Amino acid sequence: MIDRMSCGLMPAKPHTVLRDAEGNLLYEEMLTRGGFGGAFTYLYHRYPTTAAVEVTESKRGHAIAVADEAGRTPLKRRLYDTRKVAPGGTAFECRVPLLFNGDLTVYFACPTQSDDVYFANGDGDELWFVEEGSARLETQCGWLPVVAGAFVWIPRSMIHRWHITSGSAPLRMMCFEGHGGVMVPADFRNPVGQLKMDAPYTHRDFVRPEGPIATPTQVPDGPRELVVRKGGRFTRLLLERPPMDVVGWDGFVYPWAFAIEKYQPKTGQVHLPPTVHSTFAGPGFLVCSFVPRMTDTHPQAIPCPYPHSSVDCDEVILYLRGNFTSRRGVGPGALSLHPAGVAHGPHPGAYEASIGSTRTDEMAVMVDTYLPLAPTAQARQLEDAGYHDSWRTAAPSAAEQGRG
């Protein structure tokens, strides 16, 4: 939720009669959050929203995250190569769960086909980060253009479809599924909900959906099949009519996009903690953006992050481009997991080498979680088994080599 928007047709007062030019009654739907006490949006439909011809268990869906108990122990730093995620399929179905806890599931997806059904995720808001490629998102609030480098927010239970842009680079996307929601951190707002002047972005930085898709006389054709996920189960509803019949809407709940390049970084006299890169948050996790910036201004500053034992947080970073100051041997598409309980910090040599540098061109997306993240069996297929040992500063002993 960014701010209130309204577009298309609607009555002057909610819950009152709205008719088209021919006198046909239009139908209001309230999309509410937090029961009836949270943010909401009024949607005005050409047709009643509740008509479904068939309701069955869906044979289609995506994999639900399950812990890979065999590969989970011991506790150690891990690195996954998302370039090994096989391209193919639709965004709705091809997402691969990699890490999860009770608050968050992290997926990676490389869809090559547009969705041929509509999807509504009742298990959480979806915050996508598009690493490569472009697409258009068809939603009940309108079309949303999606480009590489953008965060894309799809609210819980919003009916939508991904459309692949022909001729664009193949899509590579990471998804943060926030089970309790994903939102702008509360301390970025003033008491009336406006983004504060010291927030790292402004209202104008957000790309909004391009109005309702339908008019009272023109409801676009499309699939009548809607797949709804709730509690990890998939239900197929065959609707009487295609669901993109919204002619107007008004509220705070609508999808949006935000380009990471618009994130305004902060620089201090000495190294500032990762929380200064806060971008979006949900219960139990914080998403941060590392973007090119000037580094610390103190003449004796060590710009590289100090080694740390952040004893309450698991840390996940997707590396996008540039030379990440603290790590070596990681390139675009690498995804690291540094679990709480194991101290972490710069690779040997990086700390010393950063002294005297004045800027960094690194770009990365990070999520910190309070609950431990469990890797999935799918993640193990992408893992670099030697990553934890890449911090060694001494050669393995003869005894260690003998252990193979």
Binding site residues, Fe ion, CB under 5 A: 315
- Residue 79 C-beta: closest distance to Fe ion, Å: 14
- Kindly tell me which of 146 and 286 has the beta carbon lying closer to Fe ion: 286
Classify strands 150-154 and 233-239 as parallel, antiparallel or unpaired: unpaired
CB of 63 vs Fe ion, minimal distance in Å: 28
Minimum Å gap between C-beta 80 and Fe ion is 17
Q: Least distance (Å) from Fe ion to the CB of residue 269? A: 21
DSSP-assigned letter for residue 224: -
- Tell me the closest approach of the beta carbon of residue 344 to Fe ion, in angstroms: 6
Min CB(338)–Fe ion separation in Å? 6
Our CB check for Fe ion shows the closer of 244 and 287 to be 287
Residue 96 or 367 having the CB closest to Fe ion: 367
> Residue with the closest Cβ to Fe ion?
315
Between 123 and 315, name the residue whose CB sits nearer to Fe ion.
315
Neighbours of 389 (CB within 10 A): 11
Q: Strand, coil or helix: what is 199?
A: coil
Q: Are strands 104-109 and 118-121 parallel, antiparallel or unpaired?
A: unpaired
Angle (nearest 5°) at CA 102 between 101 and 104: 65
The residue among 160 and 347 lying less far from Fe ion, judged by its C-beta, is 347
Q: Which is nearer to Fe ion, 88 or 348 (CB)?
A: 348
DSSP 310-361: -TT-EEEEEEEES--TT-SS--TTEEEEE-TTS-B-PPTTHHHHTTT--EE-
d(CA 298, CA 357): 11
Shortest spacing between CB 345 and Fe ion, in angstroms: 7
Please state the closest distance from residue 391 (CB atom) to Fe ion, in A. 13
Closer CB to Fe ion, 288 or 382, in the complex: 288
Q: Strand, coil or helix: what is 188?
A: helix
The residue behind tokens 């100090």 is 306
Q: Which is nearer to Fe ion, 115 or 315 (CB)?
A: 315
Q: How far is CA 374 from CA 103, 182, 286, in A?
A: 12, 20, 17
3-state secondary structure of 83: helix
Specify the DSSP element, H or E, that contains 129. strand 125-132
Nearer of residues 225 and 315 to Fe ion, judged by Cβ: 315
Nearest to 160 by CA among 87, 227, 71: 227
Minimal distance, residue 78 CB to Fe ion, in Å: 14
The whole-angstrom separation of Cα 232 and Cα 121 is 9
Give the H or E element holding residue 72. helix 69-72
